[in-house]
C-alpha cells in the first residue's frame, strides 16, 4: 500500500540570526587563537547543541564569575550582563570579551539614557531570563519589571509623568503590544519603544510562521527549552489553533504527532543550528514520502561586526 505524500512547509527565515552567529564565532575564534579553556558566563546562546559543540572544543560554561580563575579569558554571552558583572571582571583582572548581541546592547543604552534623564524604566519581559537580568542591572534602582498586561493595574511608580518602557528582545510582538497598550492607557505620559525593541530576527521568524500556520496541521519548532524566541513560536502556532511542539532535535519527533497529518511546518528559533532542521526533515522523510515547500517571508542580510580585537588585521598597503 502506497503511503500518502506529506507536505513539509519550511518558513524562512529560521535558525541562526546574525547576533547568534556573531556570539558563536567570538568563542570559536578565541579558542583558535588562545586555545582552551575559554570561560563563558552562562550559555553563549540558548541551545544545547551549540553549547555541547563548544564544550567539546574547550569552552567552559559557568554560572558566575567566581567560577572563573583569576586572570583567565571570559566571554559574556549574547544575552548581555549587568554593569556590575563587567565591573567585577575588571576588578579581578579577567580578560573579558563581550559577545552581547548589539540589539540587546541597544536596549541597555536606552535604559541607561532614560534613567539618567530621571525616568523610571518599565521593562516588559520574563523574570529570570538572562537578558532581563542584565537589563534590570543597568539601572536597578530605577527599573521595574512587568510580565503581563494584568500586572500593569497594580504597578506602583514614583512619578507617572516620568516613565519610559522598553522590552526584552525575544518576546512575541503581540505580547509586547498588549502590555504596551495597557501601560499607555494607565500612564498616558509614558514614553517607549515597545515592539520596536523586539529584534528583527525574532519578529521575522514569528511573521514567517504566522504566514504558513493556517496551512499546517502541526508545527515543529526546533529549539531548546530555555530559548525564549523558540517558545514564542510554539505559542504563536497554538494561539492560532494549530498543534505545535518544541523539539531539541530530530530524535524528539514523536511519529504519533504525525498520524493523519497532511502538512507539517518545520521552523527553528534563532539560536538553533540550521543542520538540526535538515535532520528533522530527513526524519520526516523516513516516515513516508514528503514534498518540501520553502516559504520565504523575508531575507535577512544583517551582519554584526566582531569585537575589534577579533577582526582580521587590515592589509598593510605600502607604497
Cα 212 to Cα 236: distance, rounded to the nearest angstrom: 11
How many residues appear in the chain?
319
Side by side, the strands of the sheet bearing 59-62 are 59-62, 38-41, 73-76, 95-98
Q: Is 131 annotated as catalytic?
A: yes
Options 55, 64, 130, 131, the catalytic residue: 131
Active site amino acids = 131
Amino acid at each position: 500500500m502506497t503511503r500518502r505524500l506529506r507536505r513539509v512547509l519550511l518558513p524562512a527565515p529560521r535558525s541562526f540570526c546574525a547576533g547568534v552567529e556573531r556570539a558563536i564565532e567570538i568563542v570559536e575564534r578565541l579558542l583558535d587563537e588562545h586555545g582552551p579553556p575559554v570561560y563563558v558566563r552562562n550559555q553563549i546562546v540558548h541551545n544545547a547543541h551549540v553549547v555541547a559543540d563548544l564544550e567539546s572544543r574547550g569552552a567552559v560554561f559557568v554560572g558566575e564569575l567566581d567560577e572563573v580563575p583569576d586572570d583567565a579569558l571570559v566571554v559574556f554571552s549574547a544575552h548581555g550582563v549587568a554593569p556590575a558583572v563587567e565591573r567585577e571582571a575588571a576588578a579581578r583582572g579577567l580578560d573579558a570579551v563581550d559577545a552581547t548581541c548589539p540589539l540587546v546592547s541597544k536596549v541597555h543604552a536606552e535604559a541607561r539614557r532614560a534613567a539618567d534623564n530621571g525616568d523610571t524604566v518599565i521593562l516588559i519581559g520574563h523574570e529570570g531570563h538572562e537578558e532581563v537580568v542584565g537589563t534590570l542591572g543597568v539601572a536597578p534602582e530605577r527599573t521595574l519589571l512587568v510580565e503581563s498586561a494584568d500586572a500593569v493595574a497594580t504597578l506602583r511608580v514614583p512619578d507617572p509623568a516620568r516613565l519610559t518602557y522598553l522590552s526584552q528582545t525575544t518576546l512575541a510582538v503581540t505580547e509586547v503590544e498588549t502590555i504596551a497598550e495597557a501601560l499607555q492607557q494607565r500612564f498616558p505620559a509614558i514614553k517607549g519603544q515597545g515592539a520596536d525593541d523586539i529584534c528583527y530576527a525574532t519578529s521575522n521568524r514569528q511573521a514567517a510562521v504566522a504566514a504558513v500556520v493556517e496551512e499546517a496541521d502541526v508545527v515543529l519548532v526546533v529549539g531548546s527549552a530555555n530559548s525564549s524566541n523558540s517558545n514564542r513560536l510554539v505559542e504563536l502556532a497554538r494561539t492560532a489553533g494549530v498543534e505545535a511542539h518544541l523539539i531539541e532535535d530530530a530524535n524528539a519527533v514523536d511519529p504519533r504527532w504525525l498520524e493523519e497529518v497532511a502538512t507539517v511546518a518545520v521552523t527553528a528559533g534563532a539560536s538553533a543550528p540550521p543542520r538540526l532542521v535538515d535532520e528533522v526533515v530527513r526524519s520526516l522523510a523516513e516516515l513516508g514520502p514528503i514534498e518540501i515547500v520553502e516559504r520565504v517571508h523575508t531575507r535577512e542580510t544583517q551582519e554584526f561586526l566582531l569585537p575589534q580585537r577579533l577582526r582580521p588585521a587590515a592589509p598593510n598597503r605600502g607604497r
